[in-house]
């Protein structure tokens, strides 16, 4: 047997099938393209479905791949079985109406025994119960003794998925030896124990199933094979678990190094180490393919994997984020096969770090609450967390439910999932009601009594249109007319008004007839695709069935188009400056103002912002022609059009191209015919709106010019105030003023400290000798006295005289402030300012405290101030004479 590394094995397989006339294709991305039935690719054949069904022509009738796969269905097995990962690679050779069973079986055998040198005595084929043809090939062509070929039932050896192409399978099992078996007398390939592992599965798609038990032979028969690369590597490398395969073991070692726990010493720790290694393999590959953590769909799968890995890190005692370090090892082990990992390494690293940091915050609060709940439940001997509590953890604290279940499990508890789901359903209903209420507002809660044909939108070509009024709503009711002064909405057969959608604001304008004018100040669409023109009747009356002239405000429309076309240029510029990972995450287009949200992980630097702005303005100055074309979705994709992630598109799409291929986007909005008309583009703000999502706000056309005019006027006002001749002189003037301020400030400080010195000197002359100390009590009678000044005097006295006990008071607006300072010698003798202040402040109805050297307090009873100060001597005497 040849001992191959995982990366070499992959290459061996692909080269072998290239030699057999197969076209080698790179792995398809983990995100399915045009297949809404699947969140993530989970097998080699999944991305090739259209080639199997004949819907599309494959590039060649023989294809081989090594496909990245994610199976989150296996998540609970990970770390516990030796053969499951959430991420693995599947080797596959495929035939689309070309070779069939005979070749597939022969090549499978040749690869395993001759190319890899596996011992034929350890390999056991299986076939489907009724598949005599495959049985015969194994027996006659390959020469396997019939008792070594198992016939297995539908569960194991018939591949089908609802209706459609399906067929029998033939697997190859590898015998890991009796020592790994269950010891039962009938242990054989197909047994659930660890002795015989399935390494290769050949599917012969031979029938078309109607889903009701009728199978018809397919004219075009296909071969779909799948072999887990990691499992094959286990066999070739003679290791018992896919976690011990060379590249995966390096990741395990990295995790074990970070957490300082040796692998294979403690089963519980090993599970955690394996979970982290596996989940970070998945996460790294998913992020590389464009998945970002979020709260739904595949983004949630990624989030769940990262959170689970983070939590197992905590179980291992790792403090602080560390998963991104594991990513680096995953990238290192895989970049030879997947070179795009290298360019995206920094990005992947950041996504993982931020997600882990954010999770750290959530998990901290949630774990504490859950531990509290667990103790409460334990105290009353209750082993089931109520659905309400589980829901509250999720809904209020964002604590992931699967984590709640996992932590409960570790504490011998469970959650009432039935009740939890009821809470979830109730919340979904509440959310839907809230949405419906919003929808009702848009239709004013009125059944329009119209059919469901959408209003024809003519606004791409024209700004004014003669239309027929189909329905009118005023005062929340269907009406046959609308009169001057009434608010309401009008529905017509067609309209040039763009309804608010896709982030673009609605058109405003008028609907008019013979002196009757309805002013449109908002347009929305109802579920039936009817355009609802909201507004007010300014004069006259409009009736249902009237022919009216609907005319949009072109100034507003033009400024919206400026902002929208500039948004496409901005999107392109961001991708050019920041990288291809930039994806639109939201967009708002208003007259000459735009807001664009996109995926990116750090604040843009000043230089990046300037570069983006320059590129957009460059594209505007180049006067790129804008062309709009409708075409089939696939043609648009061929062109490289930027489609929005997760957005559903119809068969025909609208493609907006600027400057040929400078920018190509699928978009239903209204656009300029030339980018030059956008005018000046200016970025006004850039900030974060969510983890991993940034927002740029910008202006175009008149708004940019207005802001320039405004800034200029502002500068002029400032120049006037500072008496600068021209704005150019502003900086010099300001510099001068600031220097002057600094000088004045230091003069003022010097004068204040001189004054304090004088005051201190005067006060010191009034000191009394008491117990070897110099005791001073004084009320400062200055009208302007403030705390700073008192403090300065106290500090000076303490500097001058180590034996000083100085108590100064000031009275202002009926409030007393008292400070006490004790020099070093005084403190040594036992006189502590903090205690002194506490005592004397209480005499004048207040409180205070501080350190032995300095303390401060206050009081309200001004009449008692003298008495309070008189108590100082007594305090000093007591303090200095007490033992
Ligand atoms: P099992 O019963 O072991 O989960 P499966 O029947 O789900 O396997 P298939 O759907 O036939 O597997 O996938 C083809 C091959 O992919 C398998 O023979 C195996 O080598 C590999 N494979 C499947 N699931 C995993 C996984 N979670 N981790 C690693 N390899 C896998
Ligand atoms: Mg499985």
The residues, ordered by sequence, that sit 6+ positions from 396 with a Cβ below 8 Å of its Cβ are: none
pLDDT score for 433: 64
Higher confidence at residue 360 or residue 663?
663
pLDDT band at 791 (very low <50, low <70, confident <90, very high): confident
The Cα-based distances of 348 to 282, 323, 327, 342 in angstroms read 12, 11, 8, 10
Least confident of 291-295, 361-365, 751-755: 361-365
Nearest CA to ligand 1 atom 27: 84
* pLDDT tens digit sequence for 637-657: 888 887 664 455 667 889 999
Pocket flag, ligand 1, residue 281 (CB < 6 Å): no
Nearest CA to ligand 1 atom 23: 228
Q: How far is the CA of 157 from the centre of ligand 2 (A)?
A: 13
pLDDT score for 437: 43
Ligand 1 pocket mutation, candidates 86, 228, 248, 278, criterion most atoms within 8 A of CB: 228
Cα–Cα dist 327/397, whole Å: 28
pLDDT score for 663: 94
Pocket flag, ligand 1, residue 230 (CB < 6 Å): yes
What is the average pLDDT across 800-819? 89
Cα–Cα dist 49/166, whole Å: 12
Token pair, residue 327, equals 């990513």
Report H helices in 68-159.
101-109, 132-136, 154-157
- Please give the DSSP secondary-structure letter assigned to residue 354: H
CA 837 to chain CA centroid, nearest Å: 56
The residues, ordered by sequence, that sit 6+ positions from 869 with a Cβ below 8 Å of its Cβ are: 777, 779, 807, 809, 840
Residue 696 pLDDT more than 90?
Answer: yes
Cα–Cα dist 456/445, whole Å: 23
pLDDT score for 446: 60
Would you say 670 and 653 are in contact if contact means Cβ atoms under 8 Å apart? no
Q: How far is the CA of 3 from the centre of ligand 2 (A)?
A: 26
Residue recorded with tokens 């967390």: 385
Ligand 1 pocket mutation, candidates 198, 202, 203, 282, criterion most atoms within 8 A of CB: 198
Residue recorded with tokens 């190094």: 257
Classify the C-alpha dihedral 414-418-424-430 as positive or negative. negative
Model-level pTM?
0.56
Higher confidence at residue 343 or residue 123?
123
* pLDDT tens digit sequence for 702-734: 999 999 999 988 888 888 888 887 778 888 889
* pLDDT tens digit sequence for 398-424: 787 888 888 898 889 999 989 998 998
Nearest by Cα to 687 from 568, 597, 607: 597
What is the average pLDDT across 99-126? 95
- Please give the DSSP secondary-structure letter assigned to residue 511: E
Pocket flag, ligand 1, residue 859 (CB < 6 Å): no
pLDDT score for 133: 94
Least confident of 310-314, 380-384, 548-552, 726-730: 726-730
Nearest by Cα to 808 from 799, 800, 798: 798
* Three-class DSSP category at 799: helix
Nearest CA to ligand 1 atom 2: 198
pLDDT score for 783: 56
Nearest CA to ligand 1 atom 24: 84
pLDDT score for 635: 87
Length of the chain: 883
* Three-class DSSP category at 664: strand
Nearest CA to ligand 1 atom 8: 198
| CA gyration radius, the chain | 40
What is the average pLDDT across 236-250? 93
Average pLDDT, the chain: 89
Ligand 1 pocket mutation, candidates 83, 112, 278, criterion most atoms within 8 A of CB: 83
* pLDDT tens digit sequence for 526-541: 877 889 999 999 999 9
DSSP string, 674-726: BGGGG---EEEEEEEEETTEEEEEEE-HHHHHHHHHHHHHHHHHHHHHTT-SS
Cα–Cα dist 421/81, whole Å: 29
Pocket flag, ligand 1, residue 74 (CB < 6 Å): yes
pLDDT score for 1: 65
Report H helices in 766-811.
787-800
Expressed in percent and rounded to 5, the helix, strand and coil fractions of the chain are 45, 25, 30
Which class for 121: exposed (0-12), middle (13-18), buried (19 or more C-beta within 10 A)? exposed
What is the average pLDDT across 250-279? 94
* Three-class DSSP category at 489: strand
The residues, ordered by sequence, that sit 6+ positions from 158 with a Cβ below 8 Å of its Cβ are: 128, 166, 167, 168, 169
């Amino acid at each position: 047997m040849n001992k191959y590394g995982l990366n070499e094995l992959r290459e061996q397989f692909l080269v072998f099938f290239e030699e057999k006339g197969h076209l080698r294709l790179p792995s398809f991305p983990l995100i399915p393209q045009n297949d809404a039935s699947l969140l993530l690719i989970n097998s080699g054949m999944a991305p090739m479905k259209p080639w199997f069904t004949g819907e599309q022509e494959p590039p060649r009738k023989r294809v081989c791949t090594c496909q990245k796969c994610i199976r989150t269905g296996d998540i609970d097995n990970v770390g516990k079985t030796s053969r499951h990962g959430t991420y693995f690679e599947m080797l596959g050779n495929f035939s689309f109406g070309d070779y069939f069973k005979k070749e597939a079986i022969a090549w499978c055998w040749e690869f395993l025994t001759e190319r890899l040198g596996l011992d034929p005595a350890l390999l056991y084929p299986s076939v489907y119960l009724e598949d005599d043809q495959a049985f015969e090939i194994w027996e006659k062509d390959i020469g396997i003794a019939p008792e070594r070929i198992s016939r297995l039932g539908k569960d194991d050896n018939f591949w089908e998925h609802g209706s459609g192409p399906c067929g029998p399978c033939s697997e190859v099992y590898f015998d890991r030896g009796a020592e790994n078996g269950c010891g039962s007398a009938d242990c054989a390939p197909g047994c659930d124990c660890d002795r015989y592992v399935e390494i290769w599965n050949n599917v012969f798609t031979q029938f078309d199933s109607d889903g009701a038990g009728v199978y018809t032979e397919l004219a075009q028969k296909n071969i779909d094979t799948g072999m887990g690369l990691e499992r094959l590597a286990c066999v070739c490398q003679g290791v018992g678990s896919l976690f011990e395969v060379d590249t995966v073991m390096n990741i395990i070692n990295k995790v074990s190094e970070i957490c300082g726990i040796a692998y294979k010493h403690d089963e519980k720790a090993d599970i955690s180490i394996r979970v982290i290694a596996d989940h970070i393999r998945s996460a790294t590959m998913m992020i590389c393919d464009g998945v970002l953590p979020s709260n739904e769909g595949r983004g949630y799968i990624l989030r769940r994997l990262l959170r689970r890995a983070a939590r197992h890190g905590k179980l291992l005692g790792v403090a602080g984020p560390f998963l991104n370090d594991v990513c680096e090892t995953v990238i290192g082990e895989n970049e030879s096969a997947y070179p795009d990992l290298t360019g995206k390494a920094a990005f992947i690293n950041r996504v993982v770090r931020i997600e882990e940091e954010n999770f750290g915050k959530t998990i901290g609060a949630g774990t504490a609450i859950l531990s509290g709940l667990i103790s409460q439940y334990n105290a009353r001997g209750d082993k089931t967390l109520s659905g309400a509590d589980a829901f509250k953890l999720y809904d209020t604290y964002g604590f992931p439910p699967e984590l709640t279940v996992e932590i409960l499990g570790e504490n011998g508890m469970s959650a009432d999932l039935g009740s939890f789901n009821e809470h979830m359903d109730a919340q979904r209903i509440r959310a839907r009601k809230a949405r419906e209420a919003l929808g009702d507002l848009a239709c004013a809660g009125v059944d329009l009594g119209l059919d469901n044909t959408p209003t024809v939108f003519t606004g791409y070509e024209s700004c004014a249109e003669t239309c027929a009024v189909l329905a009118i709503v005023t005062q929340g009711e269907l009406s046959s007319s609308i009169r001057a002064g009434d608010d309401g909405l009008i529905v017509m057969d067609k309209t040039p008004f763009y309804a608010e959608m896709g982030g673009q604001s609605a058109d405003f304008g008028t609907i008019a007839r013979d002196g009757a004018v309805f002013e449109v100040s908002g347009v929305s669409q109802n579920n039936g695709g009817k355009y609802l023109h909201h507004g007010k009747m300014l004069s006259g009356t409009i009736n249902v069935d009237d022919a009216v002239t609907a005319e949009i405000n072109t100034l507003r429309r033009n400024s919206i188009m400026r902002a929208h076309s500039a948004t496409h240029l901005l999107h392109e510029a961001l991708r050019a400056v920041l990288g291809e990972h930039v994806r639109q995450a939201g967009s708002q287009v208003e007259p000459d103002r735009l807001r664009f949200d996109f995926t990116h992980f750090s604040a843009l630097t000043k230089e990046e912002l300037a570069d983006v702005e320059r590129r957009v303005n460059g594209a505007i100055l180049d006067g790129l022609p804008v062309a709009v074309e409708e075409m089939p979705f696939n043609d648009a994709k061929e062109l490289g059009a930027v489609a929005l992630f997760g957005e559903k598109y119809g068969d025909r799409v609208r493609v907006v191209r600027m400057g040929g291929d400078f920018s190509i986007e699928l978009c239903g909005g209204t656009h300029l015919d030339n980018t030059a008309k956008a005018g000046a583009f200016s970025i006004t703000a850039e900030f974060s709106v969510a983890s991993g999502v940034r927002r740029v706000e910008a202006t175009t056309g008149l708004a940019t010019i207005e802001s320039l005019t405004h800034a200029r006027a502002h500068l002029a006002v400032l120049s006037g105030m500072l008496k600068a001749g021209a704005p150019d002189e502003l900086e010099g003037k300001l510099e001068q003023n600031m220097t002057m301020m600094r000088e004045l400030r230091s003069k003022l400080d010097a004068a204040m400290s001189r004054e304090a010195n004088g005051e201190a000197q005067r006060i010191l002359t009034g000191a009394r000798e008491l117990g070897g100390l110099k005791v001073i009590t004084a009320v400062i009678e200055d009208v302007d006295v403030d705390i700073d000044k008192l403090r300065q005097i106290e500090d000076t006295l303490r500097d001058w005289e180590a034996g000083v006990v100085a108590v100064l008071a000031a009275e202002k607006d009926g409030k007393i402030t008292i400070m006490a300072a004790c020099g070093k010698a005084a403190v040594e003798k036992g006189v502590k300012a903090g205690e002194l202040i506490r005592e004397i402040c209480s005499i004048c109805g207040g409180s205070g405290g501080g350190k032995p050297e300095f303390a401060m307090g206050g009081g309200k009873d001004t009449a008692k101030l003298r008495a309070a100060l008189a108590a100082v001597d007594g305090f000093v005497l007591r303090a200095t004479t007490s033992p």
